[in-house]
């Protein structure tokens, strides 16, 4: 059974491994640690103590920014991302957040469809948002809560 809990400092390495294996331009481990230290909120989905996915967001009332979400490749399309988004949405509502923003690679059609299924709307294009080995524009999306 899937269990959602708050991201703990002891989860950072396992979350980083998922990030590195699923993202073409992953955050560094230092990015994960810094995000945790500055107070971003994180959720993890585990089964039998093994992390299957995570989500990190930054609430700045009355809005929040979904910074990162990733699910093990072997566990994708099994509802884990949906579960993480639902828990984030519940937490945001409890904190008085009324809108959630995110950026997604313009070529990531699977992720865009996932976010749209949850009610996120396309807002704008951020040109050359993603740099590094795979530079690309980002689609800015938002969800009214």
| Annotated catalytic residue within 19, 103, 130, 136 | 103
Dihedral, 97, 76, 44, 126 alpha carbons, nearest 10: -40
Residue 62: asked if its preceding bond is cis (omega within 30°), the reply is yes
63 labelled catalytic: no
CA distance 108 to 98: 26
| Annotated catalytic residue within 16, 19, 115, 130 | 115
DSSP structural state of residue 38: T
16 labelled catalytic: no
Residues forming the active site:
103, 115
């Amino acid at each position: 059974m899937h269990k959602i809990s708050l991201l703990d400092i002891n989860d950072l390495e396992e979350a980083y491994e998922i990030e590195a294996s699923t993202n073409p331009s992953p955050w560094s481990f230092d990015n994960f640690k810094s995000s945790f230290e500055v107070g971003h909120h994180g959720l993890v989905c585990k089964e039998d103590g093994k992390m299957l996915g995570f989500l990190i967001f930054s609430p700045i009332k009355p809005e929040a920014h979904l910074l990162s979400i990733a699910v093990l490749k072997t566990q994708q399309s099994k509802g884990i991302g949906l579960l993480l988004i639902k828990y984030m949405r519940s937490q945001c509502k409890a904190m008085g957040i009324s809108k959630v923003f995110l950026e997604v690679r313009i070529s990531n059609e699977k992720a865009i469809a996932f976010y749209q299924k949850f009610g996120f709307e396309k807002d704008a294009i951020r040109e050359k948002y993603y740099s590094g080995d795979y530079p690309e524009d980002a689609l800015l999306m938002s969800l009214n809560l």
